Structure 1
Amino acid sequence: MKKLIIVLMLSSAFACKETSDGKRSELELSIEQSMDRNADSLLSKKGFNSVSIGVYKNGKTFTKHYSELDKGKGNTPNDSTIYEIVSLIAI
């Protein structure tokens, strides 16, 4: 059985600095870095093949998918992936 997880992180710990030149804001960079760290941490644990993380902050949604659903098959998760396990973490 595939062991998968969705982590929905609601974070209010980031300061927001918007930019007008099309570059990502400090908020977006911080959220992406946090998502990457959490995904790396989960994927390093035995039994986790893939992870999808979604963050909703200040009216914006950030979603990233990591690794493969089945090791070695190249089938990466996406926005349509149905998960067997769901976790909700509020930070």
Structure 2
Amino acid sequence: MYLLGLGILLALLKYLEIGPVAQWSWWVVLVPFGLTLLWWGWADSTGYTKRKAMEKVEKRKQDRVNKQKEAMGMRPRKPR
């Protein structure tokens, strides 16, 4: 996501001809977009994206269980 933001910023600076970016080649300005595509392709093909989403769901689930246990006056288990 940082690469995409960097790419958008550089493209905007190049288009508006602001600062030293105005003198750079368009190829240099567009490199972050290519790197973003490579990152997304790698993350999807290796399962990184899905794994992170599942971890997020599990954390929310455990937080909800802990909150319910605290409401009943029980202590939640500490992670091992």
What range is the shorter-chain TM-score in?
Answer: 0.3 to 0.5
Normalised TM-score (structure 1):
0.31
Q: Which one has the bigger strand percentage?
A: 1
Decide which structure has greater helix share.
2
Higher relative contact order (CA 8 A, sep 6+): 1
Larger Rg: 2
